[in-house]
Structure 1
Amino acid sequence: MATLLPPPKRQKVYHGIPEPETVPIAPSPNIVVQFVSEDDGTPLAPAVNLPANVSREDLQGLVNKLTAKDEDPVPFQFHISLPADAASGRDTSRVVISTSIESDVLSHPSHAFTPEDVFVVHCSPQSVFRVRPATRCSSTLSGHTSPILCASFSPTGRLLATGSGDTTARLWDLGTELPSHTLSGHKGWVLCVEWEAMERKLATGGHDNQVRIWDPKSGKPIGDALKGHSKWVTSLSWEPIHLNVTSPRLASSSKDGTVRVWSISTRRVEYTLGGHTASVNVVRWGGGGLNGKGVLYTASSDRTVRVWDANGGRLLHTLQDHAHWVTTLALNADFVLRTGPFDHTGKRPASDEEAQKRAQERYSALISSTPELLISGSDDHTLFLWSLFPSRTASSESTALAASNGGKLKPLARLTGHQRQVAHVTFSPDGRWAASAAFDNSVRLWEGKTGKFVATLRGHIGAVYRLTWSADSRLLVSASKDTTVKIWDLKTYKLKTDLPGHTDEVYCVDFVADKIVSGGRDRTVKMYVLSLSPT
């Protein structure tokens, strides 16, 4: 007897539409995750077994619980480093976890990870406050009649100073976004403006070889011009407030190959640093040193970086690793040295003693785990990371003095990758990152403590002249020859916001609180404000 087959199952139809076929969803695999510190790679807790689709927010909550920080949660950024072979040829050496390990890491185009791997997740604590990104131009400030060459916010963020080729500097009130004072006196381009960290004085240097000191409240000069340089002034740097709160000194570098340290109270030169054989392009006043009383770092077209004792001007080190002009320097303490006692809370100290104490606390907190670090950038397309005064607890690997090399100072790292001259380098306010801009139209991001390459930020179509960070170290801003100012997303290493508005090259940019300011060849100052919706 023949076997009868059952009739085929009829497809269900609802109002003439066939029932959609259901595709079973594969469960998310379980993975082993090891959370480690971004600072030194030490485990934060024992390895845990988790579903791969746990969200980034849940990972953040888990890390806070594992590290007993659930009473006062700390925001974290997470990333997983790519293997060397998978990272080669890419614009980034790490995968940032923005959604989940499953969507960001297991689905990464490199296919470098499988669910059987142990996922080492680097945890980087973020600021407890957040700066929202600017989205619109709030003001176009006119007044300068020549290109704007430099711009700097005051330590409290209440005032802005700009210097121009029209021989004047200008002060702008950020509350009203209107001009406050015009500072007239220079007889050549104003090339640099620098605020004292207590916001009591402003220094300007120019093409007329002079340094001038101004009272920002009245806009009047404080005394006569400081004369002594025989060529134009290239850079200015004030003595840190935690070292001298009552009458900080000022250092000026010049095309004449010297650096002069001025006593503002006596209007005289305390000493002159004359060891360089070509233009001194940058001077930075550091807050540490062998005795903790401050050092001066100078970079020159003679291809060297020199380090001096700030009390007397004794030469401490000569760094000779660059093969061309050294044009830019940055310290990991630059932000706290620049802002002194003022932090994001906006509290003003009641006395000089309180200001000095608060400035010392901010500086000590920054260098508690890492000593004062220096990055130098050059026309030889490279940068070097230096640790010249390592702390007593620093490991031998972090020590800059190599006995095996005849006592010659060795850099912690050589940072390569740029294809043309390095125009600017700057540390993030928390010292965790360093960013460099170059004439190859790119910005490169590095680990601030090791110099390890992190990512290349591409989007500009002209040379990148200047960089600045938000106070929370989450946003990086660049100014370029291509007439744009760009904000970069450090979670994705992609462009976050494009800020057009300028009609010519943008030479300078600065970031304070929720405002970005830029200036350039079109002779206007553009001010951008934060978005009205939270990020």
Structure 2
Amino acid sequence: MATLLPPPKRQKVYHGIEPPEPEPVSSVPNVVVQFVSEDSGQPLAPAVTFPADFGRDGLESLVNKLTPENEDPVPFSLYVSLPEKDTNSPTRIVIKNSIQEDVLKHSSKLFTPEDVITIYCSPQAVFKVRPATRCSSTLTEPNILSPGHSSPILCAAFSPTGAMLATGSGDNNARLWDINTETPSHVLVGHKGWVLCVEWEARERKLATGGHDGHVRLWDPKTGKPMGDALKGHSKWVTSLSWEPIHLNPKTPRLASSSKDGTVRVWSPGIRQCEYTLGGHTASVNVVRWGGGGLTGKGVLYTASSDRSVRVWDANGGKPLYTLKDHAHWVTTLALNTDFVLRTGSFDHTSKRPASDEEAQSMARARYDAIVSSVGELAISGSDDHTLFLWTLFSNNQADNKAKPTARLTGHQRQVSHVAFSPDGKWAASAGWDSAVRIWDGKTAKFVATLRGHVAPVYRLTWSADSRQLVSASKDSTLKLWNLKTYKIHTDLPGHTDEVYCVDFVADKIVSGGKDRTIKILTQLTSNPLPGSVHYRSRIIPLLPSKLQSILPTLPSRNDRALYTRLPTSFSAQASSGLSSSTFDLEQNILGGDSREGLDEVGTQEVLEIMRNEGVNFDEARLRRHHRILARHGIDPSGMPLDSKAVTRL
């Protein structure tokens, strides 16, 4: 019988999808992160785990999820604290990209994926100021078309709303400028010596000036007229001015003036008399600041002097409270963490204007309380001994209030020339004769970074309203706009031909003045302005006096003799900084023949035609139209008679 062999075994055939390749093990580790509020020091939530390459935007979104009290997303500053080694070592790592890039790969090698990484979160302003990139106006020496100062510009200050600018000069005059048009408004004549300081009342109803003649004068900003005679009493020049905060006295705020004669006088502008004199210093009083708190909550006066001391006085009567004698040389600068809100009063980024003094007082009080709610009112003093001191005299925690410095800030190699707190009080910046700017934590005074770029002493500093930008003015004739994320120069702003003595910041505008007798107004450069930008263009076109009268009837407006053209947008400058109040719409203003643009119906149509035919923007179209008007009258923009052969080039 034959043996039957079994059929060969059928092989199982796989008809499905190929099995997936095993995933490679990720080289990105997971990290455990604890988010902590910088203000309260409390964790926002339990620690969370996620990949180390999680981007900064994702971290910010996560923090917003962990803070449900914020209805809308809020920008946050995120950083990891470093142990303090010495005064020149950074004390934090700012997270710009991810934890992996910025923390785990940091040169300190202090953090590993096995650590619980504590990230401190600090909310930033909900509005953002656009960085200035170029000069939009140069207000120069007096002439038929540009009535400016004839001597160095010694001081400059924007009004609380940002609508006006006040400048003081060595020509014995102060001047008021309209910021919307960037043109002169009033000349304030009365001082018999240099105008050394200008100070706005927070309701913008008065302007105070102090001079080398020892006099203090008050002016009506609307008319440019003096409000009575000079306030006399100082025997030497006035060094500083400070108004009483309006959350303490909104109707008739008093004015404090310090002088080289070693005294501080407190004036009652209503009755035009000195209420009392503070005479405790034995040398020049270089700075006076009117604080908003104090032991009784009725205000205090801080004074810094060349007798190496800082003194604190009760503003209600002048009783001395503290004498601080820790500096070893002249105390030349002093700043409060409440300076910005005291200066601007009730005016903030919401563009809301108070209808009464009582409403202004309430709004100013709310802004002040928001700054001092966590640490109270702080002061920093700077000296020619190369150091600064942080003072905590009126903290919410009574145990912290003492007549000894909370911290000593060292690092400058030469005299400290200026110190300024950021508007939100979270940062402080100091400038020195060592050509450096140093950034400090505004609450603890820990060193953060050194900003280097100037090649000569730095005289003055000013912050943007959102606390994200810092501008420095120097003897080297430049202004520098600093990026506080990288601690490097964002924009170098040249333009002055000599030392820059003063600088101020409002909205997206920076104003500076100096030894070259010119005032520079700088703003953002953008060829195609986006919604949210405020763009200015200016050009001074001098005209020959003999031709002036013949051409005036043909010019679009008197302002075109010194052509300052505002390019409108649909965005309010006030939302950008809280210190201006002009909203424009480009198309409506062109078609409507807005008087601020100086265009009638004919001029409007001519500008629109140039824009259509030549493919240029409004700013350039209006400038070309103006050049053609000059050409028809035989005048070159330089002011010289025009060569007939060159007319076709226009």
TM surpasses 0.5: yes
AA aligned to 1:444 is R
CA RMSD of aligned residues (A): 1.5
Q: Distance in 1 between matches of 2:482 and 2:238?
A: 32
What is the CA distance between 1:70 and its match in structure 2? 6.2
Secondary structure in 2 aligned to 1:437? Answer: strand
Q: Which residue of 2 aligns with 1:28?
A: 28
Q: Distance in 2 between matches of 1:276 and 1:44?
A: 48
Q: Which residue of 1 aligns with 2:498?
A: 504
Structure 1: tracts of 5 or more residues without a match = 1-23, 402-408
AA aligned to 1:529 is T
Q: Distance in 2 between matches of 1:395 and 1:46?
A: 32
AA aligned to 1:200 is R
Q: Distance in 1 between matches of 2:502 and 2:26?
A: 52
Secondary structure in 2 aligned to 1:134? Answer: coil
CA deviation string 1:209-234 (max 9, x = no partner): 10000011111110000101000000
Q: Which residue of 2 aligns with 1:13?
A: none
Q: Distance in 2 between matches of 1:307 and 1:370?
A: 18
Change (3 A) 1:336 1:70: closer
Q: Distance in 1 between matches of 2:31 and 2:291?
A: 46
Secondary structure in 1 aligned to 2:364? Answer: helix
What is the CA distance between 1:93 and its match in structure 2? 2.4
Q: Which residue of 2 aligns with 1:52?
A: 52
Change (3 A) 1:88 1:200: closer
Q: Which residue of 1 aligns with 2:604?
A: none
AA aligned to 2:284 is S
Secondary structure in 2 aligned to 1:145? Answer: coil
Is 2:417 aligned against 1:423?
A: yes
Q: Distance in 2 between matches of 1:33 and 1:283?
A: 45
Q: Distance in 1 between matches of 2:123 and 2:166?
A: 33
- The one of 345, 349, 364 equivalent to 1:344 is 349
Is 2:157 aligned against 1:152?
A: yes
Is 2:466 aligned against 1:461?
A: no
Change (3 A) 1:232 1:59: same
Q: Distance in 2 between matches of 1:48 and 1:110?
A: 24
AA aligned to 1:56 is R
Matches within 5 A, 1:203-218: 203-218=208-223
Q: Which residue of 2 aligns with 1:518?
A: 512
Is 2:168 aligned against 1:168?
A: no
- Check conservation: 2:201, 2:207, Cα contact below 8 A: yes
Matches within 5 A, 1:333-372: 333-372=338-377
Matches within 5 A, 1:176-215: 176-215=181-220
- The one of 269, 274, 293 equivalent to 1:269 is 274
Q: Which residue of 2 aligns with 1:246?
A: 251
Change (3 A) 1:246 1:84: closer
AA aligned to 2:497 is T
Q: Which residue of 2 aligns with 1:66?
A: 66
The structure whose Rg is larger is 2
CA deviation string 1:92-129 (max 9, x = no partner): 32211111111122222333322222211111110111
Q: Distance in 2 between matches of 1:216 and 1:509?
A: 20
Q: Distance in 2 between matches of 1:515 and 1:152?
A: 12
What is the CA distance between 1:25 and its match in structure 2? 9.6
Secondary structure in 2 aligned to 1:139? Answer: strand
CA deviation string 1:174-196 (max 9, x = no partner): 00000111111111111000000
What is the CA distance between 1:40 and its match in structure 2? 4.2
What is the CA distance between 1:496 and its match in structure 2? 0.9
CA deviation string 1:279-322 (max 9, x = no partner): 00000000001110011000000001111111111111100111
Secondary structure in 1 aligned to 2:63? Answer: helix
Q: Which residue of 2 aligns with 1:284?
A: 289
Secondary structure in 1 aligned to 2:393? Answer: coil
- The one of 321, 327, 345 equivalent to 1:322 is 327
Q: Which residue of 2 aligns with 1:79?
A: 79
Change (3 A) 1:25 1:502: farther
AA aligned to 1:400 is N
Q: Distance in 1 between matches of 2:475 and 2:436?
A: 12
- Check conservation: 1:344, 1:513, Cα contact below 8 A: no
Change (3 A) 1:133 1:122: same
Structure with the higher fraction of residues in strand conformation:
1
- Check conservation: 2:311, 2:320, Cα contact below 8 A: yes
Secondary structure in 1 aligned to 2:369? Answer: helix
CA deviation string 1:122-169 (max 9, x = no partner): 111101111110111110111111111110000000000011111111
Structure with the higher fraction of residues in helix conformation:
2
Structure 2: tracts of 5 or more residues without a match = 1-23, 141-147, 534-650
AA aligned to 1:385 is L
- Check conservation: 1:400, 1:412, Cα contact below 8 A: no
Secondary structure in 1 aligned to 2:394? Answer: coil
AA aligned to 1:50 is F
Q: Which runs of structure 1 show a deviation greater than 3 angstroms over 4 or more consecutive aligned residues?
A: 87-90, 531-535
Is 2:522 aligned against 1:528?
A: yes
Matches within 5 A, 1:108-119: 108-119=106-117
AA aligned to 1:106 is L
Secondary structure in 2 aligned to 1:455? Answer: strand
Q: Distance in 2 between matches of 1:323 and 1:89?
A: 21
TM-score, normalised relative to structure 1 = 0.91
Change (3 A) 1:395 1:318: closer
- Check conservation: 2:331, 2:384, Cα contact below 8 A: yes
Q: Distance in 2 between matches of 1:481 and 1:172?
A: 25
Q: Distance in 1 between matches of 2:216 and 2:281?
A: 20
What is the CA distance between 1:356 and its match in structure 2? 1.1
What is the percent sequence identity of the aligned residues?
Answer: 73
Q: Which residue of 2 aligns with 1:433?
A: 427
Aligned length: 499
- The one of 422, 438, 442 equivalent to 1:444 is 438
CA deviation string 1:36-86 (max 9, x = no partner): 12224321111111101111110011011122246322110111122345x
Q: Which residue of 2 aligns with 1:5?
A: none
Secondary structure in 2 aligned to 1:373? Answer: strand
Q: Distance in 2 between matches of 1:318 and 1:88?
A: 27
AA aligned to 1:114 is T
Change (3 A) 1:35 1:192: same
AA aligned to 1:44 is L
Q: Which residue of 1 aligns with 2:480?
A: 486
Q: Distance in 2 between matches of 1:361 and 1:294?
A: 16
Q: Which residue of 2 aligns with 1:16?
A: none
Secondary structure in 1 aligned to 2:375? Answer: coil
